[in-house]
Amino acid sequence: MFRMSKEETLQKIKQVEAQIRTMKEEAERERESTLRNARREALELTEQFQEQAEARYREIVSAAEAQIESEREKLLAAAREDAARMTGQGKANVDRAVDLVLGKFRGAIRA
């Protein structure tokens, strides 16, 4: 059976401790690097989703504006038609009123 001296045992323990320390330092560096990468990726995704949301918002607003403009034009066209019809009716009523007034005036003159 092989036996180590105290000095060899202490030396071996120191080596193992140094290896463990090196492994811990490497694990810490890797953890920090992973965290940095995850934060960067999260920021990039957040920016990407923000851009997508803004683009979708612009699409929705644009579609709504187009629909509003279309409805506005329909309402204006209907209002113009109503105004033209009312103007025609008003002219016909004025012509009848003039005829009625002239008729009464003529009747008054003849009487």
Write the DSSP assignment of 22-35 as a string of letters. HHHHHHHHHHHHHH
CA atoms of 98 and 104, how far apart (whole Å): 10
Rounded Cα distance between 90 and 96, Å, is: 10
DSSP state of 68: H
Contact (CB, 8 A) for 4 and 12: yes
At 5 the pLDDT is: 86
Q: What is the Cβ-side half-sphere exposure of residue 57, based on CA atoms within 13 angstroms?
A: 6
What is the structure's pLDDT at 1? 52
pLDDT of residue 2: 63
Q: What is the pLDDT along the chain (111 residues), one digit of tens a residue?
A: 567 788 888 999 999 999 999 999 999 999 999 999 999 999 999 999 999 999 999 999 999 999 999 999 999 999 999 999 998 888 878 888 888 888 887 877 876
